């Protein structure tokens, strides 16, 4: 057997071993993302003195939406119908290749920070185009606001991960997680703390939480995400809701594992993967509770003040990079 054939067989075997772990990651985020949204709503309700809906309410809402009728605006094109599928597909690929449950997901060599960020950006652009497609005033307003926030948040996200890449000497996300596991003292380094603060700001903006956006509002002067999805109904609205929940779960999982990677599976064994799912759920739930408490104690910013917040996150990310370069 030629060396090329042997290498192909070994690559195929490695892919088969990693595929179940990636499928487990996708399943965990598909179920866990909506549950995180429900947990945050529950925490906000309790902090405000209300009982609130059960944590599983987002999953029930998805089931209800799937059973409803599809309704399209009169002057919409195929863009409106395709955008939710692009959103879910891009989120699924990003989840499958990211180090959430295991340090060896499928196609881990291509799990570069730039790849994951651009997959998220692809979903954001698709949703913005879907909001613009019907030609309504609210859809155009929400899409323009979402692109403005994304144009400010995405660079901060890239620069914050770049600070971790300088320390780990790789921009590969599984590689960064492995390097952090090998050097636990990095967690207390100044560049890590600055990068963590920048990522928290970016995650709040990317997931549309207060003080950047209010996911529960329908006031035309303040809403961003809700304005883009007003023309969706039925199964397509379910896809949009699921895609956004998956993006939230992915970002929470990345923050948890890039800075606190303990508990992630280093092999494809069932006990390790099962434990990793439980640990990931605990870490993501902790982040969700913290952000929910921030939402309760913070007022939504005016639209023209949001760039100032995101600029602050970008400055923190740049400081993290500069600190990493100085301390190398």
Each domain of the chain, given as residue ranges in start order, spans: 18-327
For residue 328, the model assigns a pLDDT of 67
Query: What is the model's pTM?
Result: 0.90
For residue 220, the model assigns a pLDDT of 60
**271 CB burial (10 A radius; 0-12, 13-18, 19+):** exposed
Reply yes or no on whether the pLDDT at 8 is more than 60: no
311 versus 210: the higher-pLDDT residue is: 311
Reply yes or no on whether the pLDDT at 7 is more than 90: no
pLDDT > 90 fraction of the chain, expressed in percent and rounded: 34
CA contacts within 13 A on the Cβ side of 308: 6
**Measured distance CA(66)–CA(239) in Å, rounded:** 9
For residue 289, the model assigns a pLDDT of 93
Per-residue model confidence as pLDDT tens digits over 234-289: 899 999 999 999 999 999 999 999 998 888 988 778 888 889 999 999 999 999 99
59 contact partners, CB below 8 Å, separation of at least 6: 31, 34, 35, 38
Tell me how long the chain is.
328
* Separation of CA 103 from chain center: 18
C-alpha dihedral, 170 to 244 to 298 to 143, nearest 10°: 100
Mean pLDDT score, 25-48 = 93
Mean pLDDT score, 48-76 = 88
User: 172: which strand partners?
Assistant: 112
Mean pLDDT score, 218-225 = 66
Q: Can you spell out the DSSP letters for 6-17?
A: HHHHHHHHHHHH
Per-residue model confidence as pLDDT tens digits over 95-132: 999 999 988 887 777 778 888 988 999 999 999 999 88
For residue 242, the model assigns a pLDDT of 94
Reply yes or no on whether the pLDDT at 12 is more than 50: no
Burial 16-53 (b: 16+ CB within 10 A, else e): eebeebbebbbebbbebbbbbbbbbbbbbeeeeeeebe
């Amino acid at each position: 057997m030629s060396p090329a054939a042997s290498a192909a067989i070994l690559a195929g075997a490695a892919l088969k071993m990693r595929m179940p772990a990636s499928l487990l990651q996708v399943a965990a985020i598909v179920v866990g993302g909506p549950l995180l949204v429900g947990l945050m709503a529950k925490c906000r309700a309790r902090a405000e003195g209300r009982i609130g809906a059960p944590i599983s309410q987002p999953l029930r809402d998805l089931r209800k939406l799937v059973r409803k009728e599809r309704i399209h605006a009169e002057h919409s094109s195929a863009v409106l119908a395709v955008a939710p599928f692009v959103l879910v597909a891009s989120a699924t690929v990003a989840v499958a290749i990211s180090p959430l449950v295991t340090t060896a997901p499928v196609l881990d060599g291509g799990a570069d920070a730039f790849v994951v960020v651009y997959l998220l950006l692809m979903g954001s652009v698709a949703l913005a185009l879907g909001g613009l497609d019907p030609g309504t005033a609210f859809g155009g307003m929400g899409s323009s606001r979402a692109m403005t926030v994304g144009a400010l948040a995405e660079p901060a996200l890239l620069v914050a991960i770049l600070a971790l890449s300088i320390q780990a000497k790789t921009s590969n996300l599984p590689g960064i997680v492995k390097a952090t596991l090998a050097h636990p003292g990095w967690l207390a380094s100044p560049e890590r703390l600055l990068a963590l603060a920048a990522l928290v700001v970016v995650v709040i903006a990317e997931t549309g939480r207060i003080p950047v956006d209010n996911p529960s509002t329908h006031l035309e002067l303040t809403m961003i995400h809700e304005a883009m999805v007003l023309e969706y109904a039925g199964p397509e609205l379910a896809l949009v809701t699921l895609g956004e929940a998956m993006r939230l779960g992915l970002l929470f999982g990345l923050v948890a594992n890039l800075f606190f990677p303990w508990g992630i599976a280093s092999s494809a064994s069932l006990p390790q993967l099962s434990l990793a799912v439980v640990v990931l759920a605990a870490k993501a739930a902790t982040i969700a509770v913290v952000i929910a408490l921030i939402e309760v104690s913070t007022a939504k910013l005016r639209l023209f003040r949001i760039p100032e917040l995101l600029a602050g996150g970008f400055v923190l990310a740049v400081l993290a990079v500069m600190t990493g370069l100085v301390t190398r």
